[in-house]
């Protein structure tokens, strides 16, 4: 038996004891998923979509639970302090729901917020409908399906609105070498919510996260992901959205932490007049690696998509962006804009930005562009010519470059929190606090 077979056998065993094991449909899907993973193995650079981000090393590497990490309660308290407007907090530690840390305020009638591990019992049919299968998944997400025992389950009945932010906090503490989470967000017609995923802590663990969003007609869902994991963590995550007519979905992905972070973000317009915003920012330094693969499928007419990604790549780090937009033959009067701009902050930093437009309709407006560059020397000189020293000027321009992405976050406290998180990563951040 090869190493991976042994590992898979162990995971099969593990799946049998996960929450939801009593649900026959789930047992079947988990079995299919682990079979798919066993078949595919970890993605290697031979696969086009993983060309820059091979996970083959995971086959060799025994994952270990982190041996030290901040206490989850302290981590959570620090996070909550940034949001004095309350909000709802669903907290997971090492991949498991932490009821004692979670605080869910009063929810409007028709809104359900619960842990997936509970929803398996309380709403099995709804979970089944939203859960997804591993049939076409890349292997890490098949593995996720096989091994996820928890995550968030959010359901918004027709016409309901969650006024305050729903925070999903995923804390890597000391209990697990790997964790697999699946979040299901089911938004019925005309409902509205903003959901924030915070990924913090993590040690040297592997975490896979799949977030599935179903936005029914005219629903408005904003999803913000703030990944600030420890510099040893491996974070592999997928966001999958399906949008019905007239719905609006925004995905903000801020990737600041982890040794390796991979995000696959995908939405499909299944009805006319859908809108989406993909807004992303990554910062990597040292030997860290970040990869965003995005896909916006304009399957129906009159859709509007805006995609803006920016990357700060420092040290020996590498930033990868591959953004695909597919405009189907029927998707007339599509309006799509995609940009990815990278700032290299050191000589050894590397960024790959690849836009890919496939347009099969003829009446469309599509624009795209990608850049990899250094700090604008003209701007640098302009600041210096006004007495601002070079170090400060560079820091200011770096921050300003990244801040454009953060400014697209509409919620005040969240935007401020994101700024603080960014400044904490940048040299001279304290000096720039004045900007806030």
Question: Would you tell me which residues interact with other proteins (CB under 8 A)?
Answer: 376-379, 381-390, 392-393, 396-397, 399-401, 403-404, 407, 434-435
CB nearer to other proteins: pick between 231 and 431: 431
CB nearer to other proteins: pick between 55 and 409: 409
CB nearer to other proteins: pick between 384 and 416: 384
Task: Please state, in angstroms and as integers, the Cα–Cα distance from residue 358 to each residue in 142, 324, 326, following that order.
Answer: 27, 8, 5
* Maximum CA extent, the chain: 70
CB nearer to other proteins: pick between 3 and 389: 389
Which contiguous run of DSSP H or E holds residue 413? Answer: helix 412-425
Q: Are strands 260-269 and 289-298 parallel, antiparallel or unpaired?
A: parallel
The distance of closest approach from Cβ of residue 328 to other proteins in the complex, given in angstroms and rounded to an integer, is 34
Q: State both tokens at 203.
A: 């040690």
The distance of closest approach from Cβ of residue 419 to other proteins in the complex, given in angstroms and rounded to an integer, is 12
E-assigned strand segments in 94-219: 96-97, 111-115, 152-156, 166-172, 178-187, 192-201, 206-215
CB nearer to other proteins: pick between 152 and 402: 402
The long-range contacts involving 69-72, CB below 8 angstroms and separated by at least 24 positions, are 69/172, 69/173, 69/174, 69/201, 69/202, 69/203, 69/230, 70/173, 70/201, 71/173, 72/98, 72/101, 72/171, 72/173, 72/201
Rounded to whole angstroms, how far apart are CA atoms 398 and 314?
11
CB nearer to other proteins: pick between 150 and 341: 341
CB nearer to other proteins: pick between 85 and 390: 390
CB nearer to other proteins: pick between 166 and 432: 432
CB nearer to other proteins: pick between 329 and 420: 420
Q: State both tokens at 22.
A: 């009593």
Contact at 8 Å (CB) between 42 and 8? no
The distance of closest approach from Cβ of residue 256 to other proteins in the complex, given in angstroms and rounded to an integer, is 18
E-assigned strand segments in 83-189: 88-93, 96-97, 111-115, 152-156, 166-172, 178-187
The distance of closest approach from Cβ of residue 24 to other proteins in the complex, given in angstroms and rounded to an integer, is 54
Alpha helices (H) in 174-294, listed in sequence order: none
The distance of closest approach from Cβ of residue 386 to other proteins in the complex, given in angstroms and rounded to an integer, is 4
The long-range contacts involving 22-29, CB below 8 angstroms and separated by at least 24 positions, are 23/120, 23/124, 23/128, 25/128, 26/120, 26/128, 26/131, 29/131, 29/133, 29/134, 29/145
The distance of closest approach from Cβ of residue 402 to other proteins in the complex, given in angstroms and rounded to an integer, is 8
Rounded to whole angstroms, how far apart are CA atoms 198 and 69?
16
Question: How big is the CA angle at 390 (ends 388 and 391), to the nearest 5 degrees?
Answer: 110
CB nearer to other proteins: pick between 362 and 434: 434
CB nearer to other proteins: pick between 5 and 407: 407
| Residue with the two structure tokens 């896909």 | 295
Q: State both tokens at 126.
A: 């709804």
The distance of closest approach from Cβ of residue 405 to other proteins in the complex, given in angstroms and rounded to an integer, is 10
Q: Please report, to the nearest 10 degrees, the dihedral formed by the alpha carbons of residues 42, 45, 47, 51 taken in order.
A: 130
Task: Please state, in angstroms and as integers, the Cα–Cα distance from residue 53 to each residue in 57, 154, 290, 381, following that order.
Answer: 10, 31, 8, 37
Instruction: Return the closest-CA partner of residue 249 out of 291, 318, 191, 334.
Output: 191
């Amino acid at each position: 038996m090869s190493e991976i077979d042994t590992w898979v056998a162990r995971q099969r065993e593990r799946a049998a004891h996960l929450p939801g094991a009593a649900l026959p449909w789930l047992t079947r899907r988990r079995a299919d998923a682990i079979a798919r993973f066993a078949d595919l193995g970890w993605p290697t650079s031979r696969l086009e979509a993983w060309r820059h981000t091979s996970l083959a090393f995971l086959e060799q590497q025994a994952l270990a639970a982190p041996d030290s990490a901040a206490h989850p309660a302290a981590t959570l308290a620090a996070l909550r302090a940034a949001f004095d407007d309350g909000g709802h907090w669903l907290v997971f530690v090492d991949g498991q729901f932490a009821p004692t840390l979670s605080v869910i305020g009063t929810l409007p009638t028709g809104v359900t917020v619960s842990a997936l591990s509970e929803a398996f019992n309380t709403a099995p049919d709804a979970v089944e409908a939203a859960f997804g299968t591993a049939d076409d998944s890349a292997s890490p997400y098949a593995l996720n399906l096989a091994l996820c025992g928890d995550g968030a389950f959010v359901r918004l009945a027709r016409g309901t609105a969650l006024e305050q932010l729903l925070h999903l906090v995923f804390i890597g503490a000391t209990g697990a070498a790997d964790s697999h989470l699946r979040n299901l967000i089911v938004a019925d017609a005309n409902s509205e919510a903003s959901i924030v995923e915070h990924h913090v802590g993590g040690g040297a663990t592997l975490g896979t996260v799949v977030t599935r969003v179903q936005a029914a007609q005219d629903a408005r869902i904003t999803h913000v992901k703030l990944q600030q994991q420890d510099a040893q963590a491996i974070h592999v995550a997928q966001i999958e959205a399906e949008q019905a007519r007239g719905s609006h979905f925004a995905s903000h992905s801020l990737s600041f932490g982890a040794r390796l972070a991979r995000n696959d973000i995908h939405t499909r317009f299944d009805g006319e007049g859908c809108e989406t915003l993909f807004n992303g920012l990554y910062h990597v330094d040292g030997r860290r690696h970040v990869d965003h693969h995005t896909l916006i499928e304009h399957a129906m007419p009159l859709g509007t998509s805006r995609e803006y990604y920016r990357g700060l790549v420092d040290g020996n780090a590498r930033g990868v962006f591959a953004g695909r937009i597919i405009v189907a033959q029927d998707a007339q009067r599509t309006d799509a804009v995609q940009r990815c701009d990278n700032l290299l902050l050191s000589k050894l930093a590397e960024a790959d930005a690849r836009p890919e437009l496939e347009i099969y309709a003829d009446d469309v407006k599509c624009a795209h562009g990608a850049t990899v560059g250094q700090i604008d020397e003209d701007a640098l000189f302009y600041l210096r010519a006004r007495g601002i020293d070079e170090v400060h000027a560079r820091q200011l321009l770096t921050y300003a470059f990244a801040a454009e992405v953060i400014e697209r976050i509409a919620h005040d406290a969240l935007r401020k929190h994101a700024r603080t998180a960014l400044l904490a990563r940048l040299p001279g951040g304290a000096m720039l606090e004045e900007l806030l």
